[in-house]
Structure 1
Amino acid sequence: MTVYDRYRTLLHKLALVRARAPGGDSPEADALLDTMDEVWDALSEGERAAMERERARLALAPDTRAVPA
């Protein structure tokens, strides 16, 4: 699995977790976000741009990915 595919999978898992518990944080969401932070750092600029489009398609809030360092 590529880094891009891994991040995409995590993003979709996060969408499902948030759909189950809207408006609230959960330990599961926090763990996913921590993992996503690590994977985000490994993405190329092009992959990050593509992932931004994916996030928009899923209509997720801006905090669903790590902020690049």
Structure 2
Amino acid sequence: MTVFDRYRSLLHKLALVRARAPGGDSPEVDALLDTMDEVWDAMSEGERAAMERERERLTAAARPDEHALPA
């Protein structure tokens, strides 16, 4: 597994952990963020740029569509 793939995996795991316990940090979230920092430091500049784009896509997908009709 490349460091890029490892970071992507951690990012998805972080989203799942936060979805289970929204509204606050937890020891599990803190540990994931620490690991993500270490992996980020090991990534190349190109990998970091690609991950920034992926995180933007994930963030945009998680936002509600402002043009959608209310339920």
The number of residues matched between the two structures is 60
Q: Distance in 1 between matches of 2:28 and 2:58?
A: 19
Look at both structures and tell me which one has the larger radius of gyration over its CA atoms.
2
Once the two structures are superposed, the pairs formed by residues 9-48 of structure 1 within 5 Å of their partners are: 9-48=9-48
Partner residue in 2 for 1:7: 7
Letter in 1 for 2:5: D
Q: Give the alignment's TM-score, normalised by structure 2.
A: 0.78
- Give 1:17 shift: 0.6
Match of 1:54 in 2: 54
Q: What is the RMSD of the two structures over their aligned residues, measured on CA atoms?
A: 1.3
Q: Distance in 1 between matches of 2:9 and 2:29?
A: 13
Q: Which runs of 4+ in 1 moved over 2 A?
A: none
Classify the secondary structure of the residue corresponding to 2:39: helix
Q: Which runs of 5+ in 1 are unaligned?
A: 61-69
Instruction: Please list every run of 5 or more consecutive structure 2 residues that lacks an aligned counterpart in the other structure.
Output: 61-71
Identity of aligned residues (%): 88
